[in-house]
Amino acid sequence: MAKMARMLVVLVAVGLLGLGAGAVEPLIMGTTDRVTELSFENSYDAYTWHVLRHTTGALVKLDDETLEIVGDLAQSWEISDDGMVYTFHLRPGVKFWDGKDCDAQAVKFALERTIRLDGPKGGVGLIKPYIQKIEAVDKLTVRITLTYADAIFLSRMTSQVAPALIYSLDPSVGENEYTRGRYAGTGPYKLVEYKPDQYVKYEAYDGYYGPAPKSREVIEVMYADAATLRAAIEAGDVDFVFRTLAPQDIADLEKNPNVIVEYWPPSPGIRYLLFNVTQPPVDEVLVRRAIAYAVDRQAIIDQVFSGIVDPIYTMVPNVDPPFFGALPTFPERDLAVARELLTKAGYSEARPVELNLWYTPSHYGTFEADVATVIAGSLEETGMIKIRIQSLEWAAYSERMSQGGFDMFLLGWHPDYLETSNFLAPWLTEAPESMGTFMNHHPNYEAYKWMLELATSTVDIAERSGLYKGVQILSTIDVPWVPLWSMTDEMVTARRANVKGLSLDITMDINVYRIYKE
């Protein structure tokens, strides 16, 4: 009876009562993640993109089983001999929820609009610099001409990358407004309702060209913290949870006979420190290098995560394939070297360098304050650094970051597309201002740009890998970042025994349309 009462509360909260006699109980997911803004052109976070990609499609996608690039809205494509022109042939008969045709003009409209608006909080830089023009050759043929031959262009255009998604616009949206959820997609789900910080509700789209989703109605409920997320799965208020449980909660749930905990390694997700290289006092490279030597990764792993995450010494995940060329170039902890570097920079115990350490308290789970405290303590062990810990909620955090308002700050990264450049280029050349590093003002910016453009236009994997290694070595000299740990904790799911079809792959996302209850 108690369980029934709790479930009743959840169903009332998400507006599911009154679905009618014989309605199937919805599949309910719990998460501590949050949607930022449901805009293809002005969002850049894993959970928002999860929602967008479940409700519409792109020209191509990753195969659920093999993770190879296959057709989505396009059935097939050709690439010109010089690698400059991609011609996509669309599936006939595909329609958006609003009844409009998903034809070549619709694809051209969506991509051009996203590129034109290019919101400051968005990830449009993943596709914009590479597209010269988009043409609707005929009703079912789209031709995209590139600015230069990009060997990984198809990876950028999969449904993993929100700016590559195709949508029909709600007529109420103005010419220069962001979509903010006011769109129609092509399935497999329709976005029925979104309540900020509460839930997202989906309903299967009958017009979807592919196999029908296993669960017709899905609710993704957003919980305040890991403790309430754990309580929800234990009580049966949710059917499964996805990001992010606390380490101790994971250990305790493994002992619960009603809950199945599953691990899905390896993790390509990374956590790291970033610097605005134009912002004093971290505009001084010796200070950034000293921090790289002083930070204590093992203390973070032991004290915050109970040993379930792993240290990293480069931004590139050590997962080959698909992320080839990882080179752990950053140093192990050495306080003596850190002090030497700070002394060369003109600092001492009597005159310590004063820094801010910024974090966001809920976007990456509920342990960020602990992480910040441990990092601050490890840096202050030099005796020559004083840290002021500061925080902002994600919306304000991302805005201040893109305005250059941070000196040193914590971020996390999930792969946009499955290729090494996605773990190097965003902070260096693709979006250095919106990502807060301002590396486009650094003396070595042109060198990074040259190496990354050459790498991404090189088909030979060995040659491309060598260029990526060069970028990693140079980053250890310039220190725009300090890699810290891989997000193994986010590769854990928990489900009730009657939930089937749940899996988590190297994209760090789940395919909700494959999950169902028996």
C-alpha 518/C-alpha 504 separation (Å) is: 20
Count Cβ atoms within 10 A of the Cβ of residue 350 and give its class: 0-12 exposed, 13-18 middle, 19 or more buried.
exposed
pLDDT at residue 24, rounded to an integer: 52
How many percent of the chain have pLDDT more than 70?
95
Q: Which of these ranges, 18-32, 59-73, 128-142, 192-206, has the smallest mean pLDDT?
A: 18-32
C-alpha 29/C-alpha 51 separation (Å) is: 13
Average per-residue pLDDT for the chain: 93
CA angle 297, 310, 437 (to 5 degrees): 60
- CB-CB contact of 125 with 161 (8 Å): no
Q: Which of these ranges, 47-56, 264-273, 347-356, 359-368, has the smallest mean pLDDT?
A: 359-368
pLDDT for 322 beyond 80: yes
Domain with CATH 3.10.105.10 in the chain: 270-486
**Architecture of the CATH domain 270-486:** Roll (3.10)
Residue 429: count other Cβ atoms within 10 Å of its Cβ.
22
DSSP 8-state secondary structure symbol assigned to residue 166: B
Tell me the pLDDT band of 509, cut-offs 50, 70 and 90. Answer: very high
CB within 8 Å of 187: residues ≥ 6 apart: 55, 56, 57, 204, 205, 207, 208, 209, 210
Averaged over 399-427, what is the pLDDT?
A: 96
pLDDT for 21 beyond 80: no
Domain with CATH 3.40.190.10 in the chain: 2-12+26-32+187-265+490-517
- CA Rg value for the chain: 23
Enter the tokens of residue 462: 């060995």
Q: Which of these ranges, 16-30, 64-78, 189-203, 389-403, has the smallest mean pLDDT?
A: 16-30
Q: Which of these ranges, 11-15, 90-94, 278-282, 337-341, has the smallest mean pLDDT?
A: 11-15
Averaged over 455-480, what is the pLDDT?
A: 96
Enter the tokens of residue 71: 């057709």
Averaged over 4-28, what is the pLDDT?
A: 50
pLDDT for 6 beyond 80: no
Superfamily name with CATH number, domain 2-12+26-32+187-265+490-517: Periplasmic binding protein-like II (3.40.190.10)
pLDDT at residue 365, rounded to an integer: 80
Tell me the pLDDT band of 356, cut-offs 50, 70 and 90. Answer: very high
Averaged over 482-492, what is the pLDDT?
A: 95
How many percent of the chain have pLDDT more than 90?
91
Tell me the pLDDT band of 363, cut-offs 50, 70 and 90. Answer: confident
Burial profile 170-183: b = 16 or more Cβ within 10 angstroms, e = fewer: eeeeeeeebbebbb
pTM metric for this prediction = 0.88
Enter the tokens of residue 272: 């790291």
Residue 253: count other Cβ atoms within 10 Å of its Cβ.
20
E-assigned strands of 247-297?
A: 259-263, 270-275
C-alpha 182/C-alpha 167 separation (Å) is: 10
pLDDT at residue 85, rounded to an integer: 98
269-310 per-position pLDDT tens digit = 999 999 999 999 999 999 999 999 999 999 999 999 999 999
What CATH topology corresponds to 46-183? Answer: Dipeptide-binding Protein; domain 1 (3.90.76)
Long-range CB pairs of 440-445, under 8 A, 24+ apart, other chains included: 441/277, 441/278, 442/277, 442/478, 442/480, 444/474, 444/478
pLDDT for 439 beyond 80: yes
